[in-house]
Structures are given as C-alpha cells and as structure tokens.
Amino acid sequence: MTYLKETEAAQRPITVPRLVQMRADGERIAMLTCYDASFATLLDRAGVDALLIGDSLGNVLQGHQTTLPVTLDDVAYHTACVARGTRRPLIISDLPFGEVASRESAYLAATRLLRAGAAMVKIEGGAWLADTVRFLVERSIPVCAHIGLTPQSVHAFGGFKVQGRGDEAAARVVEDARALEAAGAQLLVIEAVPSPLGARITEAISIPTIGIGAGVDCSGQVLVLHDMLGIYAGRRPRFVKDFVSGAASIEAGVTAYVKAVKDRSFPGPEHTFEPA
C-alpha cells in the first residue's frame, strides 16, 4: 500500500480548494516544514501535501533558542530555495515576528513572500489579528492562521506552554478560530492544545485544521522537518516523533510520516496533551 499517487490528476499542484476537498473527503493533510530545494524535491516525491517555510528555521538552521531573531529576508530566501525544488505541494511561508505592526506592514511583507514563491502566508495570533487577516485576504493573499501555542509569543506566555487548558482558556481559543475563519483565513494551524480542544476547534469551523500537538482529530498534521528526521539537538516537545531512526533512508522515513498521518496512526496518545 502506498500513498504515492500515480495518476496525472494527483500530480497536479496542490491548491487551497484541494485541501478543502481533502477535509470534506476525510483525507488527512500531511505537512512538514522545509527550507531548501533538495529537501523540497524529496518531500514532494514522498507525497507531502504542503511545505511550510517556518520561522522554526531560526532554531533548526540558525541555532537560536526562539523564532524571534528570524527576519523577512531569511524567510523570503528560504521560500525561494524551496520553490525551486518542488512543483506539487502547497508552499506556505511564515510571516516573521515584528511584521504585523500594522495591516499595511503585514501586507507588504506577505507580498515579498508570495513573490519569492509562496502561495499562502501563515500568521500567528488570535481574534485580535482578524482585521489584518481580512486586509490581506481582500488583497488576494491567502492566509493560514496559527493559534494555540504561538511561538512568537514565547515571552508573553512565559515559556513554550500548552494553551487552552481549562474551560475559559479553551473557549477563548475556539473564539479565536471562529474569528479568524470569519475574517477569511482558509487554513488554521493549531499548536500545543489538549487533544479534545483540537477536535472541538475542528468541529467549530469549516476550514481545514493542521495540528502540531493538537491531537489526531485535526484535518492534518505538521512537524518541523529536523524534529521528524531526528537531527535537532535542542529541546524536543512531546508532539515530536522521529520517523527516520529505523527507516531505510530519509525518503523512507518521510514516506512513513505521510502514511502515518494519512492512516491516523500519528499522532498517538504519547504525542498529545491531556486537558488537565
């Protein structure tokens, strides 16, 4: 059994409507971060649906402790590298810390990422971000919102802490998701929330949700590439699984990740957070 699709139709570039169709069909979306052309080609071949040029490049490429030092130039450069290496997966780029000072600054930053080859821009934040999301969407920038543990808020949170624990906090995260969908976001990353909340948010909205430490009931999953390759020396969050140790090759490990997301064997209980 393979998830590498052989037909012409399946080889066409993945679009946002295609992700919406996957959600409707109950087909899980497999996403990974990617920062260069060689891995872009490998991940494309292994059947990854969407590639995220994440500001996690600050951790895994640059050796920083947080994503805050990452600049728009950095993300634009790696977006261009990834775009040259791939044709099929949807390319999504992170808007770095500091670019949402205004709707205008966010829009100008997003245009640079789309010019570099991204098809969608990911922005961290809750309901407060809705005006900015609407401003971008009105100007033809597809937006993926990112809620829950938003790493650019690490100092505001006082650490990388699970979000949405307790009734009040959970209700707030659900409201964030609703507000961002209403503002026109077409995809939603949910990071580090209790599994039942990941399921509840996914039910509350109709756009596809992509979880990272948000349980198996999201429409898809994402991991940082170097975490799933087992080569990141830094702190390893609970939601990480190394798919390459024990695999025959890097490509086999990535193929195993895609298969595990599609057949819902990843994430397991050991990769997810409990409500209490």
Ligand X SMILES: Nc1nc(=O)c2c([nH]1)NC[C@@H]1CN(c3ccc(C(=O)N[C@@H](CCC(=O)O)C(=O)O)cc3)CN21
In the list ligand X, Mg ion, ligand KIV, none, the entry touching 189 (Cβ below 5 to 8 angstroms by class) is ligand KIV
Question: 131: annotated binding-site residue?
Answer: no
DSSP run (H or E) holding 25? helix 16-25
**Residues numbered 205-264 forming contacts with ligand KIV, rule: CB under 6 A:** 212, 222, 224
Instruction: Work out whether 237 is an interface residue with ligand X (CB under 6 A).
Output: yes
User: Which residue is nearest to ligand KIV, using beta carbons?
Assistant: 54
Q: Cβ distance 43 to 51 under 8 Å?
A: yes
> Could you tell me if 268 and 221 are in contact, meaning their C-beta atoms sit under 8 angstroms apart?
no
Three-state DSSP class for residue 115: helix
Residue 94 engages Mg ion in binding (rule: CB under 5 A)? yes
Residue 222 contact, options ligand KIV, ligand X, Mg ion, none, Cβ 5-8 Å cut-off depending on partner type: ligand KIV
Give me the least distance between CB of 163 and ligand X, in Å please.
Answer: 8
122 is in an annotated binding site: yes
Note whether 79 binds ligand KIV by CB under 6 A: no
* Residue 270 annotated as catalytic: no
Single out the residue of 170, 189, 216, 258 in contact with ligand KIV (rule: CB under 6 A).
189
Contacting residue, 51, 56, 144, 255, with ligand KIV by CB under 6 A: 56
> Does 263 carry a binding-site annotation?
no
Q: Exactly one of 99, 168, 191, 270 is catalytic; which is it?
A: 191
Measured between alpha carbons, how far is 248 from 246 in angstroms, rounded to an integer? 7
Q: Are 149 and 193 in contact (CB under 8 A)?
A: yes
135: closest CA among 162, 100, 169, 165?
100
Please compute, for residue 217, the number of CA atoms within 13 A of its CA located in the half-sphere on the CB side: 13
How would you label 37-46 residue by residue, b for 16+ Cβ within 10 Å and e otherwise? bebbbbbbeb
* Chain position carrying tokens 């939601």: 239
Which positions from 80 to 99 touch ligand KIV by CB under 6 A, shown as an x/- string? --------------x-----
Binding site residues for 3-methyl-2-oxobutanoate, as ranges?
55-56, 94, 122
